[in-house]
Amino acid sequence: MYIISTKITKSNIEGLGVFAQEQIAKGKIVWQFKQNHDIKLTPEDYSALPAGKRLMLDKTAYLSPWTGYWVFPPDNDPAQYTNHSNQNNLSVVYDKDISTEPYFIANRDIRVGEELTNNYHDFDKITQDTKPVWAN
């Protein structure tokens, strides 16, 4: 769940995007998993979803390297519109003292009206660099 003020509007990257509605300082947490808001499914439950739903979630869901659950935002949540960019302004971080799931911080100062982007491949790297708790 974004914990900063955002707006969904047309993106120059693809379709709709998420745009900052406030100045965001480098290092500020901007998205964090929120129990009873964001969705967690077991791999079995995720696999049981209709193929069309899984295809849609390919851009927003991730398999948590720490809990083994698929995690994604609910329908109509702004996080569904976060676009990928190799020049991303959000970075994925994991600190179990802050969140049970990865979260996003601003990797530089972000201006009002700027599109919020992440590099989808950051999850691949963090998964490879961190031993999952469920793999113990």
Q: How many domains does the chain have?
A: 1
End-to-end CA gap in the chain:
28
> Domain of 64: which CATH number?
2.170.270.10
The mean pLDDT of 92-109, rounded to a whole number, is 89
Residue 82 has which token pair? 């976060």
The residue count for the chain: 136
Contact residues for 121 (Cβ-Cβ < 8 A; gap 6+): none
Does residue 68 lie within any of the structural domains? yes
Nearest residue to 24 via CA among 110, 90, 100: 110
Q: CA distances (Å), 55 to each of 50, 51, 79, in order?
A: 9, 6, 16
Indicate yes or no: pTM above 0.85: no
Q: What is the pLDDT of residues 26-58, one digit of tens each?
A: 999 999 999 899 999 999 999 999 999 888 887
H/E stretch holding 120: none
Least confident of 15-19, 38-42, 89-93, 128-132: 128-132
Residue 1 lies in a domain: no
Locate 5 and state its tokens: 């003020």
| Domain of 87, in residue numbers | 6-135
